[in-house]
Structure 1
Amino acid sequence: MLICFPPPLPSLRAVHHRPRIPSDSCHRAQIAAGTRGYGDIDAGGVSTGLLHCTSAPVRNAPAMSRANMHRMYMVSAWTSVSVHLQLATRLLHHWTDPFLSSSPLSDSHIHELGHARTSTRPLPPEGNTLPLYPYSSRFSGIVSASKTVQLRFHILNNTAYARATNLIRTMLSRVQSAMIRRAVGVRAASSSSSAAAAAAAAKPAEHKGRVGYVSQVIGAVVDVHFSEGVPPVLTALDVTEDLGRDEPLTLEIVQHLDANTGRCIAMQTTDLLKLKSKVVSTGGNISVPVGRETLGRIFNVLGDAIDQRGPVGEKMRMAIHAEAPKLADQAAEDTILTTGIKVIDLILPYCKGGKIGLFGGAGVGKTVIIMELINNVAKGHGGFSVFAGVGERTREGTDLYLEMMQSKVIDLKGDSKCVLVYGQMNEPPGARARVAQSALTMAEYFRDVEGQNVLLFIDNIFRFTQANSEVSALLGRIPAAVGYQPTLAEDLGMLQERITSTTKGSITSVQAVYVPADDITDPAPATTFSHLDATTVLDRAVAESGIYPAVNPLECASRIMDPDVIDVNHYNVAQDIVQMLTKYKELQDIIAVLGIDELSEEDKVVVDRARKVTRFLSQPFQVAEVFTGMTGHYVQLNDTVESFSGLLMGSYDQIPEMAFYMVGGINSVLEKAKAMAEEAAAMEKQRRARQAANASDSQ
């Protein structure tokens, strides 16, 4: 029996395909016609996985019995095992290349495993079990098997399969080792390239002053070609040609299209920019001035003063892109930040050094709360404050600046405590996407260098996400859920992780978060939730009922609302207030259907006190006095807790409900109730006087 090797690259069908033996009747017909013999396997049979014999004519070939056919099938199966061994050996040779340490198998090993060559003469018949067939010049032999040969076949079959299994395992192990070695080599090459990139970034002077030319302008996206190679990503570029504006156009590289072309985002409008305009590398990232010289000034995203008060005269500038503090350098501080706003201090106390989010739709009062927090906290705050106006109305920025000057937070002739950084609605997406980093860089300087406890106000963090979404679309990235950029979590995380407290100082951040279409599950606000220590949800239904601030206490949360952090009495009062409001919400459906008279006496008491609590959570703001005509109030934390504790105990059940609306502390309630009583008495006196006058006239 002669077994031929397959071609150099064996077909996988040959490895996995089992030899096909013709049926008994078909086999007899082929033998009778002289078109099929027994035992030969040629190269074509190996490559297709079929037992194919030569077509030499056979004369007087007797028909085979089923027992002989069964023996023939066993011999063919053994031949298939040998073929499989040969194919596994050839696969091993094919996958073994020079970088493997193992050496290929020897010919003797191949011969031993595969039994590649057998005698060309058939075995002598025993007991005339198989008839002898005439020889042919094209046949390798006719196989004759006895019971002893069959037993030896079974033994050899099991051994061959075991050896084949071990051989394949060895082959797979060597291939896997080769793949691991190659992967390690690629990783090492990647590490070396990363180290080279870091070294290049550490030496900005190498590409400082490198000249390029504008090759394409697509709105806020500009492609720049450098013949000497593109500077690193996030490098700032200046367009030197005169575009009819006071300041030069600044670009920031965000993509490398090839070795000589970089895709940039413009920080100003690209009006009048044309092809072939000259661009020069600044050698570093966008930087902003830092230090006490910035206090009381208004800056744009590039750190240029826009308050028309002359140059800043800074002594130091810092790049706006930086890494977040290391875990070992961070510090957690669980201390209440008193805001003077009753609903915030009672239900969801803010944490010093934490991140606070104000969630709400359009027109529910997010900016007003931020301005009140600036007024209440920044005034009494010993450190400095930084305000970042990200994509909001320019009118609000002007109002805030004037309000701070009136309150002496910004003193044009003395010491100021606040820095304003604006990138408003009229700015291109590049400016709105970077203005938050510019303001954060100034706050980081006060925290890390001067060891201050800094307040950072961001209005609105959703506009930051929206600007990055616009940039992502201009860069051609495939949008993710609801059309946001695929890097939404990364963009927001890189900014939020820099806002933290360290062993040197702290940054307490208050961020307004616009909720599109009042859908709190929108990807932008939903992604922001995971970074915050306290969430304040402003509800449009509360605002429509006339309660301001329109905070829904049942949807708010705070990390430090814990008896181990805050006072136990404070915690118990807050939990009882939430439970009462929850019970009142459940009873509202019954009241709407059946009326309040159908409730039990206990539920009537709950409803009466809950309505007073709801109105007592309202509060006039100092920054809104010019709009409401009401005097703003700042309420101390102890007064807030004692007031609501008295409401729960029923100490103020005799006071009318309207006396709790839009007031400060409980003293304001008592004063308003007294004034209401006096007004009611005066009106009653006037009514009786009119009745007496009417009676005298009738007489």
Structure 2
Amino acid sequence: MKQRISSFQSVPQMEEIGKLTYVGDGIARATGLKNVMSGELLRFRNGSIGMAQSLEKDDVGIIIFGEFENIHEGDIVKRTGHIMEVPVGEALIGRVVNALGQPIDGQGPILTTKKRPVESEAPSVMDRQSINEPMQTGLKAIDALVPIGRGQRELIIGDRRTGKTSIAVDAILNQRGKDVICIYVAIGQKESSVRNLTELLKQHNAMDYTIVVSASASQPAPMLYIAPYAATSMAEEFMYQGKHVLIVYDDLSKQAAAYREMSLLLRRPPGREAYPGDVFYLHSRLLERSAKLNDELGGGSITSLPIIETQAGDISAYIPTNVISITDGQIFLESDLFFAGIRPAISAGLSVSRVGGSAQIKAMKKVSGTLRLDLASYRELEAFTQFGSDLDASTQQRLNRGHRTVEVLKQPVHSPMGVEKQTIMIYALTHGFLDTVPVNDLKRFESELMNYMNVSYPALLTQIVETRELPDQDKLNEALEQFIHVFVPHQ
């Protein structure tokens, strides 16, 4: 005992601690943390963690992740010396985690040792390359009209309940077998909705390549604020390994509202619509991290599909205009189209992809060239012809083609279609093969045509997949003509 006492050496440890002066609504203020860094993790006495969000002259504004009911004024808060970070790596695939990367699916701990900071610098211009590879969503209306490329940021915008999440989920389902890792970030949603979505992904075997990050509506605002950044860090780990990632932020309107709540509680000055002045930076520094890296860095990519909810179709509101200006295009969903049964309810006039044909295979680019123009002119003609009944033959023909275009672009939810089948169907539409098929029979025509092509002309479908080029048009015409002869419309 004496020997052990004589050999004992005490090693002094320096810890910088602060004292809480205010706690409430997921926010704390503390004095005494003179050397704290912006974004540094802080530990409270009850074991909860927080992050230094607002560094001021006399005190520090802290956002609290987790329970704050047991944290009181006068408590001690300690610095950790670490910037906020989350676990990353392959072990997360197939799991449901919270905004801190902790598992919430009851399947045990996540065995990963690697972590990444939640905030990191976006790849520079020299680290990127132009987008040249398609990210197929499996939806004809998107892949033909507003194509998305790997590394692109395409905004999905529309009113509540117009099918925004369905489009993003279909894009995830369509990545099966395409060597793409998907991350779905649920921000401010009901926990039951997230559970239902996870079950849907499991039914389609999509959880095998998907991570679900959930910051539900019942959680404090800091968790909703940090979730998209944490998910992007998880995505960056794969991107820098040369892999391709698709990330869905559902939705950033709720993140902006959570950030506004935090900022007002931290006594930051409100600006337009009570949002703080740096709310543009909130989304720009998040979305700029999506990129297609150059070949020297492995050629990996992050494709992001941010979702924004509008009020009564007002895309000129503050947050929608901010995110439109950051992204590389938007898919605008119209309530009127949705309730008229045109689903996905994509507005051809207001939707745009600023990457365009670079994000399409050559075959699709060739067949869908005139589609947007046809659709736009049909919408105008349709509005015009409501006032009169006498139409010349060419106008009548354009209206008939327009009816069929709208019908062909409709697609049932959660049933994405391969690009080779999309190409065949749009080719049949734009080359007049559907002009004699009754509109009511088009869905059955499509289904039977695909079965016929699989059985009688599988080589044509394989050729589109392998070469990305349109097959010999004579063979394609022959196949379609033969099918039209055997197709029997309903009388």
TM-score for both structures, normalised by structure 2: 0.84
State the AA in 2 paired with 1:224.
A
**Is the Cα–Cα contact under 8 Å of residues 290 and 442 in structure 1 kept in the other structure?**
yes
Matches within 5 A, 1:154-165: none
Corresponding residue number in structure 2 for 1:598:
390
Q: Shift of residue 280 of structure 1?
A: 1.8
Q: Separation in 2 of the partners of 1:216 and 1:673?
A: 78
Q: Shift of residue 483 of structure 1?
A: 2.7
Cα RMSD for the two superposed structures: 2.7
Taking a change above 3 Å as real, the CA distance of residues 565 and 543 of structure 1, as seen in their structure-2 partners, is closer
Corresponding residue number in structure 2 for 1:445:
237
Task: Write out per-residue CA displacement over residues 175-230 of structure 1, whole angstroms, 9 at most, x where no aligned residue.
Answer: xxxxxxxxxxxxxxxxxxxxxxxxxxxxxxx998422221112422211122x625
State the AA in 2 paired with 1:610.
G
Matches within 5 A, 1:424-443: 424-443=216-235
Task: Write out per-residue CA displacement over residues 518-564 of structure 1, whole angstroms, 9 at most, x where no aligned residue.
Answer: 211112111111222232111111101101111112221112324x7
State the AA in 2 paired with 1:249.
S
Corresponding residue number in structure 2 for 1:583:
377
Query: Is there any run of 5+ residues in structure 1 with no aligned partner, and where?
Result: 1-205, 242-247, 411-415, 623-631, 681-699
SS at the partner of 1:302?
coil
Does 2:436 match 1:654?
A: yes
Corresponding residue number in structure 2 for 1:221:
27
Q: Separation in 1 of the partners of 2:424 and 2:53?
A: 55
Does 2:322 match 1:540?
A: no
Taking a change above 3 Å as real, the CA distance of residues 207 and 342 of structure 1, as seen in their structure-2 partners, is farther
Q: Separation in 1 of the partners of 2:41 and 2:143?
A: 44
**Is the Cα–Cα contact under 8 Å of residues 131 and 359 in structure 2 kept in the other structure?**
no
Does 2:112 match 1:307?
A: no
**Is the Cα–Cα contact under 8 Å of residues 386 and 420 in structure 1 kept in the other structure?**
yes
Which structure is higher in RCO with an 8 Å CA cutoff and minimum separation 6? Answer: 2
Matches within 5 A, 1:169-248: 209-226=15-32, 229-241=34-46, 248=47
Instruction: Find 1:249's aligned residue among 48, 51, 56.
Output: 48
Task: Write out per-residue CA displacement over residues 78-118 of structure 1, whole angstroms, 9 at most, x where no aligned residue.
Answer: xxxxxxxxxxxxxxxxxxxxxxxxxxxxxxxxxxxxxxxxx
Corresponding residue number in structure 2 for 1:523:
318
Q: Separation in 2 of the partners of 1:399 and 1:615?
A: 29
Q: Separation in 1 of the partners of 2:68 and 2:153?
A: 35
Does 2:57 match 1:258?
A: yes
Taking a change above 3 Å as real, the CA distance of residues 374 and 607 of structure 1, as seen in their structure-2 partners, is same
Identity %: 22
Taking a change above 3 Å as real, the CA distance of residues 207 and 666 of structure 1, as seen in their structure-2 partners, is farther
Corresponding residue number in structure 1 for 2:457:
none
SS at the partner of 2:87?
strand
Corresponding residue number in structure 1 for 2:472:
none
Taking a change above 3 Å as real, the CA distance of residues 660 and 233 of structure 1, as seen in their structure-2 partners, is same
Taking a change above 3 Å as real, the CA distance of residues 254 and 490 of structure 1, as seen in their structure-2 partners, is same
Taking a change above 3 Å as real, the CA distance of residues 635 and 405 of structure 1, as seen in their structure-2 partners, is closer
Instruction: Find 1:574's aligned residue among 364, 368, 375.
Output: 368
Corresponding residue number in structure 2 for 1:96:
none
State the AA in 1 paired with 2:334.
D
Q: Shift of residue 663 of structure 1?
A: 7.8
Instruction: Find 1:486's aligned residue among 263, 277, 294.
Output: 277
SS at the partner of 2:236?
helix
Corresponding residue number in structure 2 for 1:419:
211
State the AA in 1 paired with 2:377.
K
Task: Write out per-residue CA displacement over residues 635-686 of structure 1, whole angstroms, 9 at most, x where no aligned residue.
Answer: 33343234333323322222111223598567269999999845x4xxxxxx
State the AA in 1 paired with 2:215.
G
Q: Separation in 2 of the partners of 1:651 and 1:303?
A: 52
Corresponding residue number in structure 1 for 2:121:
323
Matches within 5 A, 1:251-290: 251-259=50-58, 261-290=59-88
Taking a change above 3 Å as real, the CA distance of residues 643 and 296 of structure 1, as seen in their structure-2 partners, is closer
Q: Separation in 2 of the partners of 1:284 and 1:220?
A: 20
Q: Shift of residue 494 of structure 1?
A: 1.1
Task: Write out per-residue CA displacement over residues 233-264 of structure 1, whole angstroms, 9 at most, x where no aligned residue.
Answer: 211112113xxxxxx322211122325x2111
Q: Separation in 2 of the partners of 1:280 and 1:207?
A: 13
Taking a change above 3 Å as real, the CA distance of residues 666 and 460 of structure 1, as seen in their structure-2 partners, is farther
**Is the Cα–Cα contact under 8 Å of residues 333 and 345 in structure 2 kept in the other structure?**
yes
Does 2:266 match 1:475?
A: yes
Q: Shift of residue 466 of structure 1?
A: 2.0
**Is the Cα–Cα contact under 8 Å of residues 143 and 360 in structure 2 kept in the other structure?**
no
**Is the Cα–Cα contact under 8 Å of residues 330 and 353 in structure 2 kept in the other structure?**
yes
Task: Write out per-residue CA displacement over residues 418-458 of structure 1, whole angstroms, 9 at most, x where no aligned residue.
Answer: 2221112122111111000111111111122x221122222
Taking a change above 3 Å as real, the CA distance of residues 480 and 609 of structure 1, as seen in their structure-2 partners, is same
Q: Separation in 2 of the partners of 1:394 and 1:536?
A: 26
Corresponding residue number in structure 1 for 2:304:
509
Taking a change above 3 Å as real, the CA distance of residues 662 and 327 of structure 1, as seen in their structure-2 partners, is farther
**Is the Cα–Cα contact under 8 Å of residues 130 and 292 in structure 2 kept in the other structure?**
yes
Does 2:363 match 1:557?
A: no
Corresponding residue number in structure 2 for 1:466:
257
Task: Write out per-residue CA displacement over residues 267-309 of structure 1, whole angstroms, 9 at most, x where no aligned residue.
Answer: 2353243211222222212221111222222211122111122
SS at the partner of 1:282?
strand
Q: Per residue, is there more strand in 1 or in 2?
A: 2
Instruction: Find 1:382's aligned residue among 161, 179, 182.
Output: 179
State the AA in 1 paired with 2:223.
A
Question: Which stretch of structure 1 is more off in the superposition, 429-438 or 506-515?
Answer: 506-515
Q: Separation in 1 of the partners of 2:169 and 2:65?
A: 27
Q: Separation in 1 of the partners of 2:375 and 2:16?
A: 65
State the AA in 2 paired with 1:512.
I
**Is the Cα–Cα contact under 8 Å of residues 619 and 661 in structure 1 kept in the other structure?**
no
Q: Separation in 2 of the partners of 1:323 and 1:586?
A: 46
State the AA in 2 paired with 1:382.
D
Does 2:146 match 1:348?
A: yes
Task: Write out per-residue CA displacement over residues 576-611 of structure 1, whole angstroms, 9 at most, x where no aligned residue.
Answer: 2222222222223332222xx322221111111101
**Is the Cα–Cα contact under 8 Å of residues 224 and 262 in structure 1 kept in the other structure?**
yes
Q: Shift of residue 489 of structure 1?
A: 1.5
Q: Shift of residue 469 of structure 1?
A: 1.8
Q: Separation in 2 of the partners of 1:207 and 1:667?
A: 75
- In the alignment of these two chains, the number of paired residues is 446
**Is the Cα–Cα contact under 8 Å of residues 183 and 210 in structure 2 kept in the other structure?**
yes
Corresponding residue number in structure 1 for 2:470:
none
State the AA in 2 paired with 1:238.
R
Q: Separation in 2 of the partners of 1:266 and 1:565?
A: 42
Query: Whose Rg is larger?
Result: 1
**Is the Cα–Cα contact under 8 Å of residues 291 and 445 in structure 1 kept in the other structure?**
yes
Taking a change above 3 Å as real, the CA distance of residues 286 and 657 of structure 1, as seen in their structure-2 partners, is same
**Is the Cα–Cα contact under 8 Å of residues 620 and 662 in structure 1 kept in the other structure?**
no
SS at the partner of 2:69?
coil
**Is the Cα–Cα contact under 8 Å of residues 437 and 489 in structure 2 kept in the other structure?**
no
Taking a change above 3 Å as real, the CA distance of residues 334 and 526 of structure 1, as seen in their structure-2 partners, is same
State the AA in 2 paired with 1:509.
S
Q: Per residue, is there more helix in 1 or in 2?
A: 1
SS at the partner of 1:516?
coil
Taking a change above 3 Å as real, the CA distance of residues 584 and 326 of structure 1, as seen in their structure-2 partners, is closer
